[in-house]
């Protein structure tokens, strides 16, 4: 077998320009975690079914396990590490804590990223809309109740400020 | 240190019962929390596991030469690298383990026993190279006929998994015959025949439930390094670091002191992370390669080769008098153990009728090996299957005698002193209080309303019982020089137990909970602590924390007495400081005593260890559920759901609610969607989250929790374990709701559209 050629890519990650080398077969998730040290994004299935690896790519939520790293040249990626403004948590992060909307926490990065993308587009979602939008994110600990409440509460707070 | 809960009158709490933000919260919402797969070490290699494509086959040969020749491959291991382990039962945490079976499950020896059974493992410079190498390992098999179904496995002519397995408790005449039935257990109280003779109505039915998985989102992982002197260190996702240490030591033939296990942040477990799979492989590969090695399962690996819980076949017969007295229950339960013995069938039998006071009971339990993965614990293991059968028959009996099912349950509710089928009597329990709360609930009196067209609405209710566990825990509390506290336990935290333990320490020491920093230590840094399981951490580790805090208080009193040069009897700890009982108004705060500790005798460190067996308080849970059944498609939607649970005392009510809601939704998934689907040759056909279909947010309504607090008299705060019982009632509650909506009884789980349609077509 020939040695795989590495590709050189430049992208914006959480507002910072980054460059990296990767193999053509590596997913964005692998590169985020193993090459760029951003382990906040989690792998739950690697088949796009659980949403734990959700990131915002330009303005869309994607499963980073289904995106090849080679596809992100010149694009903008937001991960869970990019939600807070320094030590100032995003309202969604704060509301997840206040509502006890996480237990083991491994699905939490994906939920926060997916919820951020929802609220960017729809600042006043109904409960049903939140449930629909987050249906691609699996949580096995909470039964979703407190997650839905946290998202609705964060949306309300963000509208009022 | 002993604990006498009776020494103090009921008290007002300052911290307990509040809802502080979890100490691990910021790390978890910012992506900083370090889970097992996030651990990295210099020189790290990545592993991959070769798994059996067959459900049942003899291994004829394994050729690793092509894989070994691939550039980047550093080590390969097979079962030849594992020492022979004796066939025996080893007590462990909630149950027992046979180390020989465990060893053979980690790497198949002569036979593979299920699709996905590990056969070899390889370590290489990247995950991709390791996967390529795994594909180059050639295993030659002689394929054998598999047996997948629990009833088929019990037949005399069934393919046999283990030639050396004999039925414990079976017919002595068959003592020389190999069997897939590992154990038969019988429990009996009263006179069952007389009980049925006294009944006016008797119903007997059989039920089937499918094998289901815990479905934690984080796959199993392990990172190991082995030093040149043989000292091994493991980081992994586990519910019990000490259990990992113990089991790895058994399988690898190592003294416990040669192993150090760090429990990484854990991404869910629900019982499934109470045993080992990858950890010994990572150690062997690290030892062989001289590098640290990381192994992470794929989702397919998790579903094919870690422990789901048993599918089952259950027969139940129950009798009731016209005035609503349950007179007898007679049941047989056969549970799939998977490839090696050890299903939770005995626990299912013991839990089945425990919410009821029934004088005459007989249960026969069969533990049966099949060519499926070895089952592991899953939230109240065994109880959900049993409750599905028993609780639907109770509902049907109530309707038959024209009594409200909730009223029939209340009339027959178990109380303190009610005997259970396996002998012990219930201690103080909240079964009747729970049923009364359900009867009084808004949900019970809310109108069901009508659905459109072919859709029918119904309401159902069921209860569930779970023992809960006590077991061993250790805790230390170090008072820092600035008056804050560091709390160390050995209990991996899944549901918020770091914070519940910190709350108990804060309560005792008079500190704000934010100033108590809880952490979960590795096996060299805290005393032995059993698994996070059996709903035991807030109860038992909490008890150790409570006792460690008493130790701190005693030391603070000593320091104050030394400072004041008085007798220890002349001081008293109260609300975060020590008062002099002889000098009016003389007081030293905890912070002052902490600051001066160096001058009064050195650091202040409280410690305690417990074996909390006597402190256990059992749990009752219930679910009231409204469903809409589409009678044309068989689809069932849950439209309203209220969960009730006797929690003893809610230390952190939001986390208690979280356990109730999470368990309820796992139960809803078990009821409606989830099942292992095998083809006739024993290949798992749905080894991913796309078609192993767990509930998503859109499938569900809000889950309304109703906390009932009937104090456990054997615990200083009245705590009962809360983690597990919430999963027990849902399948039966939903089955009862479907029957209420349509008149059809679905007797198989999951109650998927085809099964619901079939039941609709055959309803009376």
> Taking a C-beta distance cutoff of 8 angstroms, is the pair B571, B580 a contact?
yes
pLDDT at A4: 59
In total, chain B counts a number of residues equal to 764
Write the burial class of residue B453 (CB in 10 Å: 0-12 exposed, 13-18 middle, 19+ buried).
Answer: exposed
Average pLDDT, chain A: 96
CA distance B501 to B487: 8
Residue whose C-alpha is closest to residue B522's, from B224, B250, B236:
B236
Q: Is the dihedral of CA B388, B391, B393, B399 positive or negative?
A: negative
Question: Does residue A46 have a cis peptide bond before it, meaning omega lies within 30 degrees of 0?
Answer: no
> Taking a C-beta distance cutoff of 8 angstroms, is the pair B50, B137 a contact?
yes
Q: Angle between the B653-672 and B730-742 helix axes, to the nearest 10 degrees?
A: 60
pLDDT at B4: 46
Give pLDDT tens digits for A60-119. Answer: 999 999 999 999 999 999 999 999 999 999 999 999 999 999 999 999 999 999 999 999
List chain B residues with CB under 8 Å of A103. Answer: 268, 494-496, 655, 658, 662
Kindly determine whether residue B265 and residue A135, on different chains, have CB atoms separated by under 8 Å.
no
Domain end position, chosen among A35, A53, A82: A82
CA distance B643 to B438: 9
CA distance B614 to A1: 63
**A100 domain-assigned:** yes
Residue whose C-alpha is closest to residue A24's, from A3, A47, A1, A6:
A6
**A1 domain-assigned:** no
pLDDT at B96: 76
Report how far Cα B236 is from the mean position of its chain's Cα atoms.
18
B31 → closest Cβ in A46, A79, A132: A79
ipTM over 0.90: yes
CATH fold of B5-33+470-614, please?
Aldehyde Oxidoreductase; domain 4 (3.30.365)
**A97 domain-assigned:** yes
Q: Where are the domains of chain B?
A: 5-33+470-614
Three-state secondary-structure class, residue A138: coil
CA distance A147 to A115: 10
Domain end position, chosen among A61, A82, A103: A82
pLDDT at B7: 46
Residues A10 and A78 in one domain: yes
Three-state secondary-structure class, residue B89: coil
> Taking a C-beta distance cutoff of 8 angstroms, is the pair A104, B216 a contact?
yes
pLDDT at A5: 85
Residues A106 and A147 in one domain: yes
What is each CA distance from B606 to B493, B524, B555, in whole angstroms? 21, 18, 8
> Taking a C-beta distance cutoff of 8 angstroms, is the pair B180, B163 a contact?
no
CA distance B494 to A44: 17
Q: In B489-506, which positions are buried (b, 16+ CB within 10 angstroms) versus exposed (e)?
A: bbbbbbbbbbbbbbbbbb
- Residues spanned by the domain of A155: 91-160
In sequence order, the 6+-apart residues with CB closer than 8 A to the CB of B491 are: B473, B497, B501, B520, B529, B532, B537, B541
Q: Which two tokens stand for residue B281?
A: 């492989």
Kindly determine whether residue A41 and residue B698, on different chains, have CB atoms separated by under 8 Å.
no
User: Which parts of chain B register pLDDT below 50?
Assistant: 1-8
List chain B residues with CB under 8 Å of A135. Answer: 696-698
> Taking a C-beta distance cutoff of 8 angstroms, is the pair B272, B310 a contact?
no
Q: What is the total count of domains within chain A?
A: 2
Domain CATH code at residue A137: 1.10.150.120
Residues A72 and A97 in one domain: no
Residues A58 and A12 in one domain: yes
In sequence order, the 6+-apart residues with CB closer than 8 A to the CB of B366 are: B150, B154, B181, B183, B184, B332, B333, B334, B335, B345
Domain CATH code at residue A68: 3.10.20.30
Residue whose C-alpha is closest to residue B490's, from B225, B232, B750, B240:
B240
Give pLDDT tens digits for B18-52. Answer: 999 999 999 999 999 999 999 999 999 999 999 99
List chain B residues with CB under 8 Å of A84. Answer: 30
DSSP A148: H
Nearest CA in chain A to B218: A44
pLDDT at A2: 56
Residues A103 and A140 in one domain: yes
> At B22, which helix (H) or strand (E)?
none
Three-state secondary-structure class, residue B129: helix
Residues A75 and A108 in one domain: no
Residue whose C-alpha is closest to residue B692's, from A140, A146, A113:
A140
Kindly report the nearest CA distance between residue B696 and chain A, in angstroms: 5
What is each CA distance from B677 to B98, B149, B206, B213, in whole angstroms? 28, 11, 21, 12
Domain end position, chosen among A82, A111, A135: A82
B658 → closest Cβ in A52, A109, A142: A142
pTM of the shown model: 0.97
> Taking a C-beta distance cutoff of 8 angstroms, is the pair B545, B487 a contact?
yes
List chain B residues with CB under 8 Å of A1. Answer: 70, 132
pLDDT at B95: 67
């Amino acid at each position: 077998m020939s040695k795989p050629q590495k590709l050189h890519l430049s992208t914006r990650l959480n507002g910072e320009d980054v460059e990296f080398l990767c193999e053509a077969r590596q997913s964005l998730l692998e590169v985020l975690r193993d090459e760029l040290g951003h382990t906040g994004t989690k792998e739950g299935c690697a088949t796009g079914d659980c949403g734990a690896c959700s990131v915002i790519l330009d303005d869309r939520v994607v499963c980073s396990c289904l995106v090849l790293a080679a596809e992100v040249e010149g694009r903008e990626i937001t991960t869970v590490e990019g939600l807070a403004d320094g030590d100032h948590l995003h309202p969604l992060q704060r509301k997840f804590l206040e509502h006890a909307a996480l237990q083991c926490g491994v699905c939490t990065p994906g939920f926060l990223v997916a919820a951020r993308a929802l609220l960017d587009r729809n600042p006043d979602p109904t409960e049903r809309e939140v449930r629909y939008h987050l249906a691609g994110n699996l949580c096995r600990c909470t039964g979703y109740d407190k997650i839905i409440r946290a998202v609705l509460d964060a949306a309300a707070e963000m509208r009022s400020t | 240190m002993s604990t006498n809960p009776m020494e103090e009158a009921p008290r007002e709490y300052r911290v307990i019962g509040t809802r502080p933000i979890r100490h691990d919260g910021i790390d978890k919402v910012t992506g900083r929390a370090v889970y097992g797969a996030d651990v990295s070490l210099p020189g790290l290699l990545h592993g991959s596991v070769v798994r059996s494509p067959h459900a049942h086959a003899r291994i004829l040969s394994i050729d690793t030469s092509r894989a070994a020749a691939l550039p980047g491959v550093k080590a390969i291991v097979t079962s030849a690298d594992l020492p022979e382990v004796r066939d025996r039962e080893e007590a462990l945490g909630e149950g027992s383990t046979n180390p020989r079976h465990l060893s053979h499950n980690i790497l198949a020896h002569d036979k593979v026993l299920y699709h996905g059974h590990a056969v070899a493992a390889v370590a290489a410079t990247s995950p991709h190279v390791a996967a390529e190498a795994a594909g180059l390992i050639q295993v030659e098999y002689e394929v054998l006929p598999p047996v997948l179904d629990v009833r088929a496995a019990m037949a005399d002519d069934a393919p046999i998994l283990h030639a050396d397995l004999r039925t414990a408790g079976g017919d002595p005449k068959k003592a020389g015959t190999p069997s897939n039935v590992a154990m038969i257990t019988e429990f009996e109280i009263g006179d069952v025949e007389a009980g049925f003779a006294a009944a006016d109505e008797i119903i007997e039915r059989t039920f089937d439930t499918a094998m289901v998985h815990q479905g934690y989102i984080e796959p199993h992982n392990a990172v190991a390094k082995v030093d040149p002197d043989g000292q091994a260190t493991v980081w992994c996702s586990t519910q019990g670091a000490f259990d990992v240490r113990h089991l790895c030591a058994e399988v690898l033939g190592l003294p416990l002191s040669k192993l150090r296990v760090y429990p990484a942040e854990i991404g869910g477990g629900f019982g499934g992370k109470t045993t080992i799979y990858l950890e010994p492989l990572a150690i062997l590969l690290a030892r062989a390669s001289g590098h640290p090695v990381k192994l992470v399962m794929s989702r397919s690996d998790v579903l094919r080769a870690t422990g789901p819980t048993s599918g089952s076949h259950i027969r139940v017969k129950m009798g009731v008098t016209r005035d609503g007295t349950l007179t007898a229950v007679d049941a047989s339960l056969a549970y799939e153990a998977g490839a090696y013995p050890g299903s939770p069938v005995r626990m299912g039998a013991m839990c089945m009728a425990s919410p009821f006071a029934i004088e005459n009971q007989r249960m026969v339990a069969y533990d049966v090996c099949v060519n499926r993965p070895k089952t592991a614990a899953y939230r109240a293991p065994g109880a959900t299957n049993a409750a599905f059968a028993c609780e639907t028959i109770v509902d049907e009996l109530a309707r038959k005698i024209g009594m409200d099912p909730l009223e029939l349950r209340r009339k027959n509710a178990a109380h303190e002193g009610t005997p259970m089928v396996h002998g012990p009597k219930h201690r103080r329990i909240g079964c009747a209080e729970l049923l009364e709360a359900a009867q009084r609930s808004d949900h019970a009196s809310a109108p069901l309303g009508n659905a459109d067209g072919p859709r029918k609405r119904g309401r159902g209710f069921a209860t569930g019982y779970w023992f809960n566990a006590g077991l061993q825990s250790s805790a230390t509390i170090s008072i820092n020089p600035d008056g804050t506290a560091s709390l160390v336990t050995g209990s991996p935290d899944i549901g918020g137990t770091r914070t519940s333990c910190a709350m108990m320490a804060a309560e005792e020491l008079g500190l704000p909970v934010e100033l108590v920093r809880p952490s979960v230590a590795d096996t060299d840094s805290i005393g032995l602590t059993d698994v996070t399981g059996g709903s035991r951490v807030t109860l038992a580790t909490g008890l150790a924390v409570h006792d460690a805090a008493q130790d701190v208080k005693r030391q603070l009193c000593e320091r104050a007495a030394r400072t004041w040069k008085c007798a220890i009897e002349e001081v008293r700890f109260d609300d975060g400081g020590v008062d002099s009982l002889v000098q009016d108004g003389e007081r030293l705060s905890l912070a002052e005593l902490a600051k001066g500790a160096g001058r009064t005798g050195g650091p202040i460190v409280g410690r305690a260890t417990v074996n909390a067996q006597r402190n256990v308080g059992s749990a009752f849970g219930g679910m009231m559920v409204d469903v809409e059944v589409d009678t044309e498609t068989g689809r069932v939607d849950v439209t309203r759901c209220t969960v009730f649970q006797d929690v003893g005392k809610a230390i952190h009510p939001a986390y208690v609610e979280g356990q109730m809601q999470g368990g309820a939704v796992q139960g809803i998934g078990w009821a409606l969607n989830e099942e292992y689907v095998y083809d006739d040759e024993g290949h798992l056909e749905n080894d991913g989250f796309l078609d192993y279909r767990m509930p998503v947010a859109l499938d569900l309504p809000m889950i309304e929790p109703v906390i009932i607090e009937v104090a456990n008299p054997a615990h200083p705060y009245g705590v009962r374990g809360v983690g597990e019982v919430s999963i027990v009632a849902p399948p039966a509650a939903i089955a009862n709701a479907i029957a209420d909506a349509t008149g059809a009884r679905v007797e198989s789980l999951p109650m998927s559209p085809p099964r619901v349609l079939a039941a609709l077509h055959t309803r009376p």
